[in-house]
Chain A
Amino acid sequence: MRTQTENAARVVVIGAGMAGARLAARVPGVTVIGEETHAPYNRVLLAEVLAGRYAAEVITLPPAEVRRGVRAVRIDRADRLVHCDDGSAVGYERLVLATGSNPVLPPLRGLGTTMPDGVHAFRTLDDCLALREAVRQHTGTGVRAVVIGGGLLGVSAARALAECGAQVVLAQQGEHLMERQLDAGAAGLLRRHLESLGVEVHTECRVRGLRCADGTVRAVELADGYELAAEITVLACGVRPRTGLARAAGLDVRTGVVVDDELRTSDPYIHAVGDCAEHRGTLYGLAGPALEQADVLAEVLAGRLARYDGTRALTRLTLRGPPADPAGVLDLAAFGDSRPLPGDDVVRLADATRGAYRAVVVRGDRLAGGVLLGDLAAVGTLARTWEDDEPLPAETSLLHLLTNDGGF
C-alpha cells in the first residue's frame, strides 16, 4: 500500500534536530517526525540556556511543521512506511534519517539501566532545563557539580554551570582538554581560562563510579580512590550516532549510516544527514556540516544536481570571561588535525601572557589542521586556506598563516 500525494514526491524526515529542521525549512511539504516535545531549537546554544543567558524560547529555530513527541520505531522499506510509537504509519517516497546522536553512557559503577537522580546528560533541551532546575534548587550554597568528560561538550557545560554559580569539577580522562580539536599547548590555555572561571580541572583522571544513596548521586569515585562530592553529575563523554532504525531496516551501517555524495544510503529511497550519517568514512558530529548536508540534500530532493563532498569547517567556541573580568572572553577556532604526525611541519605562536595560542600543522604541501585560541585575528586567512585546500608554497614561511590579517 502506497500513500500517493500529488506531483512532488512525499518526503518524510525522521528527527527534528538541526538537520531535520533545516530540511523542513528548505523542502516544502515534508513531514517531520520529532521525538522531542519542544519545537526545533538550536542545539549549539544549549550551553547559553544552561548559563541563564538565554531563555529556552530564544533558541527556537524558524517554525516548521513537525509531528512532535512522536518516535519512529520501524521502517518498512518494502512498503515504504515509517511506523511510529503512537501506532500510526507514515508512507514515504523519500525518507530522510536525521536521527542525530545519543550521549555515551560511560561504564561506571552505579550507572545501571536507570540514571540516578542528579546524573544528567547534556544533549537535549530537556537535559538542559533539568540541569538548570537542579542548579537553581541549590542556589545559595553553590551546588557541587562534576562534569565527566573534557571534550567540546564537557567544556561548554562546565563553563555554563560555573557561570550560573555551581562549584564545578571537570574530570577528563585524556591528557588534556578537547583532545579532538586542540594540541597540548592550546588545551593548557583553555584550562587556565576554565580555572579562572572557578572550574577545577583534572586531566588524566579516570572516573570509576558513582556513589549513590537513596537513588541519588552523592559523589563521583575516581580510579585513584578519591571521591568528589557532588549533587550534580554531568555526563559529557561523547556521542554515538543513532543508527538503530537504519540497522533494523537492513541499511548499510558502519559507525554511522553510510551515505554517498548525494547523501543516499544503501536504499536509494532513503537518505541520511547530520550526526547519524557517515560520509566517506567521516562522522562530523557538528552542527555546521549537518546544516550543509541538509542544504545539499534539499537540492537533491528537488531534483537538482548537487553533491556533498565533505565539510572543511572550523569549530568555533566562545567562552565568556569570569564575572570579575567580563572582557576576558576566550575565543577558540580549530580545524582538521591539530596534532602533528612525525614529519609534519608545525608553526606555533603562543603568548601565554595574553592567553593567545596559534598553531597550524602542515602535512606535505597541505594544511592539515590548526587551532587559534585567544587571538582570532588570523581566522579569516586560515579558514579560507583550509576550505580551499590548495598546495601551500614551499619556500615561504608558514608564519603568514597565523599573522596575515594585519597581525596585532
Chain B
Amino acid sequence: MPVSTSPTDRTSDLPTIVVVGHGMVGQRFLEALAERGLTAAAGTTRVVVLCEEPRAAYDRVQLTSYFAGRNPDDLSLVEPGFMERHGFELYLGNPAESLDREARTVTARSGETFAYDTLVLATGSYPFVPPVPGKDAEGCFVYRTVEDLLAIEEYAKTATSGAVVGGGLLGLEAAGALKGLGLDTHVVEFAPRLMPVQVDEGGGAALLRTIESLGLTVHTGVGTQEVTAGEDGSVNGMSLSDGSSLATDLVVFSAGVRPRDQLARDCGLTVGQRGGIVVDEECRTSDPAVFAIGECALASDGRVYGLVAPGYEMAQTVAEVIAGKQAAFTGADLSTKLKLLGVDVASFGDAHGTAEGCLDVVYADSRSGVYKKLVIGRDGTLLGGVLVGDADQYGTLRPMTGTVLPVAPERLVLPAGAGGPVTLGPSALPDEAVICSCHNVTKGAICEHTTLPEVKTCTKAGTGCGSCVKVIGQLLPQSQDRGLCGCFSYTRSELYEIVRTLHITSYAELLDSHGREAARGGDGCEICKPTVGSVIASLAPTLGASGYVLDGEQAALQDTNDHFLANLQRNGSYSIVPRIPGGEITPEKLIVIGEVARDFGLYTKITGGQRIDMFGARVDQLPLIWTRLVDAGFESGHAYGKSLRTVKSCVGQTWCRYGVQDSVKMAIDLELRYRGLRSPHKLKSAVSGCARECAEARGKDFGIIATAGGWNLYVGGNGGAEPRHADLLAQDLSDAELVCLIDRFLMFYIRTADRLERTSTWLDRIEGGLGHVRDVLVHDSLGLCEELERLMADHVAGYRDEWAETINDPERLRRFVTFVNAPDAPDPSVRFTPERGQVKPDLDILAGPVLAVRTLEGTSSR
C-alpha cells in the first residue's frame, strides 16, 4: 500500500515514472520532477516510488549526527506533505524485486506489479564487506543506514571495544560513532594513510595525528585477515596481515561501497566490469526507457560517483530529459569538505597533483594538525588542493579552481595572522564560479538575490552540506545604508553640502529638514550631534552663524572636551593648553605659565606638539586660569577640539647652519591662520627648514619642508597607531602659493571627509587618491578652488579666541561650575597626591580606576 496517495482512475491513465530507490538522490529527483510539473497533482505524470528502507529519504551524509542526539526524523529530507501535495506514490519497505523490460513492469516485494513508461533506478550502493573469514559473526556490522546505526547502538551496550575496517571517510565517521558510544576504538586501514582517496600523504599524516589525539588507535598499512569469534559465535577479535591481532567485541565494515546493480544485471542491462549501471550523458541505460542515477550508475566518463552532489546533478539531468529538454551529465567535481571527528577535511580539483608540471604550495604543521596544499599549474592557475585541520578557505578556494590566484598562493595556506592578512574574498571570484557544489549554483546566480533565505529558497544553494553558507553571506549585498547614523541617511560630506548650500545654521533645523523620518523632531544622537556641530562651526563665518562653539544650541552638540574648552583627564579634572604658535615663546610668557601652574597647583608637561600642558584644573578654576593666561597674551590652543592643534617647527634658517628657509615664521603664520578651524578630526602640521626634516613634517596631516626653491607641501601623514608618511602634493612653492594651496587642501578635506576621518585615511579612501586631490587643488579640475579659498578667507576673518569670548561673557561663564545648584562648591572627587615634585590624580577616592566618561579620542594633546 502506498503511504501517500493511491492511484486513482484519473492518474492511472497518465504516463508513469517508476523510481526504484528513495535515498537522497531519489528524493532530489522527485523534487526536480515537481519543479517541472511532472506530477500527478499537475495532471501530467504518475510517479511511483519504491523504497526498501522503512523510512523515507533522509540525509545520509549527516548519519553520524544521530549519535549526537538528532533523532532519525530530524534527518528526513522530505518536507511534511511533500508526497501528498504532488501526488507521488511512495511505498516504504517495499523494494523492487524484478524488472520486466519487455512488459515494462516492476514487481515489488509485496507482489504488486507497476507498469512504467519510464523507469529510474536510484538504487544507490551497498557497503563492501571484504571476504574475510568470520565476517558474518555476530557483532559484525556495516555503516550505511539508520537501521545499521540502531543495531550498532544496541550491540555496543554490551561491548567495551570496537574496530572499524576502513579508514576512509565513512570509516572515520563510524569510528567517531563508536568512540561516541564509549568504546575503545580501533581503525584498520589497508592503505598507508587515512582517507587515501581524498588526501595525500601529508594530509593523511596531519589527520592521523589529530585522530590519535582523540583517543582512537589507528593501524594503517595493514589488512584484516580474519574476524575471530568466541564459542557463542560472537566477535572477540581480529587478526591482521602484519601478524598481530586485536581484541574487539564489535567490528564495523566500512571499506567502501559498491553500486547496487543487481536488479539491472538480472534484466540484462549493461553494467560495467567493476559494477555500476552503464549510462550515457543523459543518464540513460542501455534500455532507452530506463535511467540510472546516483551511486548505482556508471557515468559516461567511466566513473561511479559516491558523492551526493554528482548524484543530485544526475537527478536534475534526468528530470530535464524527461521534460523533453536537453541536459547532460558528463562528470563532476569530486570536491568535498567534511568535518570528521571534529577535524575539517576538504579536497577539491586535482588534489593529488596529477597534472603535468604542476607545483605544490604546502603548509603543514603537525603540532596543530594542519595540512594545506594547493596545486598550482605551470601557468599559475589553481588546479586543486587539500585542506586538513583548517578548511576555512575551502569556500573561496574551490570556486577559484581554474583561475590564476590574485595573491601569492603561499599567503593562502598560511594561518591567519602569519605573513600578513589575506584579503582574498569571494568578491574576487568570477561570476561563473560554482559556490554551492551540492546544487551547482554559481556566484552569478547567488548575486541575483539579496538575502540568505531568498538564496536558499530560490537556488537551493547552501541547503546541501552547508559549507558554502559563509561565502554566500559575504556575496550578498551588505546593508546599503551609508548614512551617518540612525538620525541621518546622509554621509557627513553630504550633510556638509546641505548645510553650506541651504545656509542651515542649527542642528535642530537640519534634523527636522533632512533627518530620517523617525528622527525628526527628536534630540539626535551622540554621533550626529558633534558631527553637525563641527560642520556648522567650520562653515560658521560663511553662514553668518556664531562661530563660538558654546553659543546657544551649539553648546549641547559638543563632546565633553569642547564643552569646557579643555581636555578631561582621568580623575575628572581638566588640562589646559595655551597656543604657542610654532613652539616659539618668550621668557615672559614662560614665566606666566610657570606662575599660573604654581598658583593653581597644576602639573606641567611639555607636549609632543611643542607646547606646555597644565593638568589638574577643576571646572570652576578654568575661567580664572584663562583670565590670567589671556591677560598675558595667550589664547586657546584648541587641544580639546576637532580642529588645528599645532604647527611644529624646527629652528630654521635663522639659527640653524643647515636651514634654507625660515621655518619658524612659516609655522607661526600657518598656525595663526588655521587656528580654531573646526574639521572632521584633529589636524596637525609641521614645518621643517631643510630636508633633514627635524620637525617630522611627513608625519603630519599637512607638512611643509623647505627647499632651496621654496616649500614642498606633503599631505595625509599620520603618526599614532597607524603611521603613514605624507605624500608630496606640490613642490617649490612660494610663501603665497603654499598658503593658498593649504587653504584649498584643508577646505576640500573638511568638505569631503567622513566624521572622525583623519587626512591619512581620507586620502587613502577618496576615489582617485592623491592624483585626484592634486587635480582638484592644483589644477582646479572641479572649478572649486575659488570657493575653497573664499571659505578659508571667511574662517580667517571670523576667528575669535574662545577663551577670551568665554571670560568676557558672564552668561557663558555660568557653565563653568561643578554643581549647577551650588556654583561655588568645588568638585570633592577631584583630588591629587604628590609625585616627583608635582601632583598626580588621586584615583583611590574615585569609585573605580577609570571614569565612565565617554570621549572620542585620547584627551591629551600632542
Contact = CB atoms under 8 A, between A and B. Distances in A.
A346 B359 contact: no
Q: Which 9 A-B pairs have the closest CB atoms?
A: A352-B359, A348-B364, A351-B410, A350-B362, A345-B367, A407-B419, A351-B361, A347-B365, A345-B366
A347 B364 contact: yes
A398 B362 contact: no
Interface string A181-212: 00001000000000000000000000000000
Q: Which of A344, A354, A399, A408 has the most CB of B within 10 A?
A: A399
A397 B365 contact: yes
A400 B419 CA distance: 10
Interface string A323-358: 000000000000000000000111111111110100
A407 B415 contact: no
Contact of A353 (B363, B364, B380, B418): B380
B418 A399 contact: yes
Contacts of B359: 352-353
Given A348-B363, A352-B376, A353-B376, 13 more contacts: A346-B364, A349-B364, A349-B413, A350-B360, A350-B361, A351-B408, A351-B410, A354-B410, A356-B410, A399-B414, A399-B415, A408-B410, A408-B419
Contacts of B368: 397
B699 interface: no
A353 B419 contact: no
Interface residues of A, number: 21
A403 B418 contact: yes
Interface string B437-474: 00000000000000000000000000000000000000
Interface string B772-815: 00000000000000000000000000000000000000000000
A55 to B, nearest CB: 39
A274 B623 CA distance: 83
A351 B419 contact: no
Contacts of B413: 349
Interface in B359-384: 359-368, 376, 380
Interface of B: 202, 359-368, 376, 380, 408-410, 413-415, 418-420
Contacts of A399: 363, 365, 414-415, 418
Nearest to A359: B364
B366 A347 contact: yes
A98 to B, nearest CB: 42
A352 B355 CA distance: 14
A258 interface: no
A349 B366 contact: no
A349 B420 CA distance: 15
Nearest to B368: A397
B410 A397 contact: no
A35 to B, nearest CB: 48
A362 interface: yes
A183 to B, nearest CB: 12
B356 to A, nearest CB: 14
B418 A346 contact: no
Interface in A105-126: none
Contacts of B361: 350-353
A344 B414 CA distance: 21
Q: Which of A346, A353, A354 has the most CB of B within 10 A?
A: A353
Contacts of B367: 345, 347, 362, 397-398
A43 B414 CA distance: 40
B785 to A, nearest CB: 44
A349 B360 contact: no
Given A356-B410, A408-B410, A349 B362 contact: yes
Contacts of A353: 359, 361, 376, 380, 409
Contacts of A362: 367
Nearest to B377: A353
A352 B366 CA distance: 20
B410 to A, nearest CB: 4
Contacts of A345: 365-367
B250 to A, nearest CB: 29
A175 to B, nearest CB: 14
Nearest to A404: B418
A279 B840 CA distance: 64
Interface string A358-394: 0000100000000000000000000000000000000
A398 B415 CA distance: 12
A83 to B, nearest CB: 57
Q: Which of A400, A403, A408 has the most CB of B within 10 A?
A: A408
A345 B209 CA distance: 10
Q: Which of B364, B376, B408 has the most CB of A within 10 A?
A: B364
A41 to B, nearest CB: 40
B418 A351 contact: no
Contact of B365 (A185, A350, A398, A408): A398
